[in-house]
Structure 1
Amino acid sequence: MIQYVTLLSLIVAFLLLLGVIFALQRVAKTRPDGGVVGESGFTLEGYSYALILLAVVAAVGICYVLVRDTLWAGHLMEWMNIVVRLMHITFGIAWIGASFYFVFLENALNRTDNVRDELAGNLWAVHGGGFYYLEKYKLAPKQIPKSLHWFKYEAYFTWLSGFSLLFVVYYFNASSMLVDPRVLDISPLAGVGIGVGSFIAGWLIYDGLCRTELVRSKWFMVVGFAVATAFAYFYAEIFSARAAYIHFGAMLGTLMVGNVFFTIIPAQKAMVKAATEGTPLDPTLGKNALARSLHNNYMTLPVLFVMVSNHFPSTFSHAYPWAILAVITLGTAGVKHWLNLREKHQSNAWVLPGSVALLLAVVFVTAPKAETGTAAAACTEEIPMSRVNMIVQTRCVQCHSSSPTDDVFKSPPNGVVYDSPEDIIRLKDKIMQRVVVTKTMPQNNKTDMTQEERDILKCWIEQGAKNL
């Protein structure tokens, strides 16, 4: 019954969205600039693009409900993963690229030579076979041009696609990807609720701090890092290590898009309105928006690390994954600070070496530890291939097979299969890294591989991975 209600709700939502989208597009075509709504910079055409994304999500939801518990379910999930991931990467490149560019522009402005009184600075640049000349006004030009470009949809679509990806990968498969009973035995629904709730809590805490006098002090960075570390610890105590990292990145991404939606764009709206009406503009609006934009700039590298971290289990498989995440966050933010100083033609002898030292410390701390004498001495018996194959067939081929039987993975993850002894021998290095060293496979130890079995695989590999 619930399945039919869900399906009907999704169909109704999809049809309503289509109707509104066509109406907005039709009206937008009759107005210049896509139908600008007041002085806000939002356009009817822009709203329709946002609704198109929601309509796609609703359509995917309809397909998922229809094929659920069929052979097509896994295939659809895989393609949902591909499409949403590609959207997230594309929008993210546009957003982060714009962030990098405008912070560079702010840092590199010529503020002294041949600068008119109404300007804050200018910049000459060459790119793509052409010369460009850019000017920044202290407040606003005397007349606002009709073709004023707004940088906001990149941020909104990055967050929407990222949130959708979080559902596709972690929330739709919460029992296997999100929740790890060895960390905290909670229901999948509780895990989803905690994850979503933490994003709201993170924004409220951060925005509250930004509204205090602390934001004008260097102590703001210290307190901000402490709060971020607390969230990393919280996630590591609730979710699987891999999911904890992703949630930390999603939390930072939520802060970034919140800055755009609640602070930066409203400030820009006020600037446009004041310039259009010829009324005085509160200069603190622009300063606050610039500060939030700079905060976003410092969060970009930590977020990018989280996006790729799932491919490198040496980080999240550590005994203290939250500490590793916190140090990498500080180190990557430090690298971004050095880049910003460099663009201003300022120098600090300690920022880059200190940041690199932090990252190198992570490399050292996460390195595999040498075996104790007792453990090393235990690896004396010659391990036959038949014993290794039995372990792999019992613990691994549910997912890593040409015909997986797992309830989540309907095709072998990353194309890795262990159907034959030759496959196992060929992939022995991957087995050593993921199964023995980092212990991140099987996923959340779903098949209950024992430490003794991991030791046997280790001995076999160290003995030359022979097919005996």
Structure 2
Amino acid sequence: MMQDMVIIWDWLGFAVRWLHVVTAIAWIGSSFYFIALDLGLRQAPHLPKGAYGEEWQVHGGGFYHIQKYLVAPEHMPEHLTWFKWESYSTWLSGAALLMVIYWAGAELYLIDAQKVELTQWQAILISAASLTIGWLVYDTLCKSGLGEKPTALMILLFLLLVAMGWGYNQIFTGRAVMLHLGAFTATIMTANVAMIIIPNQKIVVADLKAGRVPDAKYGRIAKLRSTHNNYLTLPVIFLMLSNHYPLAFATQYNWVIAALVFLMGVTIRHYFNTRHARKGNPVWTWAVTALLFVAIMALSLAPLQQDSYDDSEARAMNRVETAFAEAEGFEDVADIVMSRCSMCHAREPVWDGIHHAPKNVLLETPADVAQHARLIFLQAGASQAMPPANLTWMEPEERARIVSWYTAGARNLPVVLAAN
């Protein structure tokens, strides 16, 4: 039963991650498209009353003629497509993934006991509450007089993000710092859509239906928030991918790296936005982006605080290792894994063409095997993903032993955690 739950939970994480990627593609794609479209609009004398600009595009074997109204057309069209569910579904699936990976696995992925001693529920509450803070502060700034000073507002938003990155780094593990900063930013972006852009558009629609002239301010406000979302998109993608790259998240300067990534997002988007607006070719932005990336690489060479596996998760990992090292069948399984897997998963691999252990997973000592119990179970017990193509001829009986050992270790885990 225990192994079934592990498999089901792993598939759940896979499904939610897949959903999150698909919805993010839809949201980012529509965001980039409409920013490019808006910047590329051309004014012409034949435009209908109230139209600001037009654009002719070709795609899929046909031509499209698009016109934009800064406020609204004189009459409401019968069919109106709303672009909102891409944003909502991306945030909801991301929140679900946060719960499945970081909240359910708080002992390993969220809590850094060397920074702050937290229970699982305390860490979850801080995680959830922090995601709302950014929106409240940012929204207040936008609704103040700074709403008329977009450059100053963007600078303050950047400082807010840097401050949150530093704050997260005082509490959570390195990988959770980057992930939460991405979720923090994504929450601002989705709230912009749900709380400002869509409501403002609905006010305009309601005015048209009632025969009133819509106020142009609602369109200006929505465009400001949409522009902010456009500049934040690329950094959010980086932050969401960062948990696969220890050089990004497992250094004492991870929050500084995140700050530089936000600046890279600005320079990259500035280049494309300028090109789309036909206002030049600012190639200098690529030089600045490259310099920022070099700075990021330099920061990653600083001494690791090793909060991914050595510091922040050390206590939890030690307890997990103890549970599986003391489980019945461990010695047999350790022999199986070391004989079938260590030629690649070693500090100095001996398999031709393998120069570094895949994913940095080491399986050449009993301690290595205990540390990677869950991965071994999923990759070589519950499935036949490893060894690749079964090149080392792992037998069905050996896979059965792995399953039996993991089940015994999973039963031991609650007892060991409670004892410590």
TM-score for both structures, normalised by structure 2 = 0.73
Partner of 2:91: 159
* Greater RCO (Cα-Cα under 8 Å, separation 6 or more): 2
Mapped pair 1:342 → 2:275: yes
Q: What is the CA–CA distance in structure 2 between the aligned matches of 1:406 and 1:429, rounded to whole Å?
A: 29
Aligned counterpart in structure 1 of residue 11 of structure 2, from 60, 79, 83: 79
Q: Map residues 328-367 of structure 1 onto 2, 5 A cutoff.
A: 328-347=261-280, 348=282, 350-367=284-301
Q: How many Å apart are 1:129 and its aligned residue?
A: 1.2
Mapped pair 1:291 → 2:218: no
Contact (CA 8 Å) 2:253, 2:300: kept in 1 or not? no
Q: What is the CA–CA distance in structure 2 between the aligned matches of 1:240 and 1:350, rounded to whole Å?
A: 36
Question: Residues 184 and 114 (structure 1 numbering): CA distance in 2 closer, same or farther, change over 3 Å?
Answer: same
Partner of 1:34: none
Partner of 2:252: 319
Instruction: Write the deviation string for residues 58-99 of structure 1: whole angstroms up to 9, x where unpaired.
Output: xxxxxxxxx6xx222211110110111111111111111110
Question: Residues 180 and 430 (structure 1 numbering): CA distance in 2 closer, same or farther, change over 3 Å?
Answer: farther
Q: Map residues 281-430 of structure 1 onto 2, 5 A cutoff.
A: 281-347=214-280, 348=282, 350-367=284-301, 420-423=341-344, 424=346, 425=349, 426=351, 429-430=356-357
Q: What is the CA–CA distance in structure 1 between the aligned matches of 2:275 and 2:173, rounded to whole Å?
A: 38
Partner of 1:24: none
Contact (CA 8 Å) 2:70, 2:219: kept in 1 or not? no
Contact (CA 8 Å) 1:152, 1:265: kept in 2 or not? yes
Q: Which amino acid aligns with 1:123?
A: E
Partner of 1:384: none
Aligned counterpart in structure 2 of residue 272 of structure 1, from 180, 205, 224: 205
Contact (CA 8 Å) 1:176, 1:446: kept in 2 or not? no
Q: What is the CA–CA distance in structure 2 between the aligned matches of 1:121 and 1:96, rounded to whole Å?
A: 23
Q: How many Å apart are 1:421 and its aligned residue?
A: 3.4
Structure 2, unpaired ranges of 5+ = 304-316, 328-336, 374-420
Question: Residues 176 and 144 (structure 1 numbering): CA distance in 2 closer, same or farther, change over 3 Å?
Answer: same
Partner of 2:172: 239
Secondary structure of 1:143's counterpart equals coil
State the Cα RMSD in Å: 2.8
Contact (CA 8 Å) 1:313, 1:434: kept in 2 or not? no
Partner of 2:383: none
Question: Residues 360 and 196 (structure 1 numbering): CA distance in 2 closer, same or farther, change over 3 Å?
Answer: same
Secondary structure of 1:109's counterpart equals coil
TM-score for both structures, normalised by structure 1 = 0.66
Q: What is the CA–CA distance in structure 1 between the aligned matches of 2:177 and 2:156, rounded to whole Å?
A: 21
Structure 1, unpaired ranges of 5+ = 1-66, 370-394, 408-416, 436-440, 448-468
Q: How many positions carry a matched residue from both structures? A: 333
Q: How many Å apart are 1:288 and its aligned residue?
A: 0.2
Contact (CA 8 Å) 1:327, 1:358: kept in 2 or not? yes
Question: Residues 258 and 184 (structure 1 numbering): CA distance in 2 closer, same or farther, change over 3 Å?
Answer: same
Q: Which amino acid aligns with 1:421?
A: S
Mapped pair 1:225 → 2:158: yes
Q: Which amino acid aligns with 2:343?
A: E
Q: What is the CA–CA distance in structure 2 between the aligned matches of 1:143 and 1:291, rounded to whole Å?
A: 25
Q: How many Å apart are 1:429 and its aligned residue?
A: 1.6
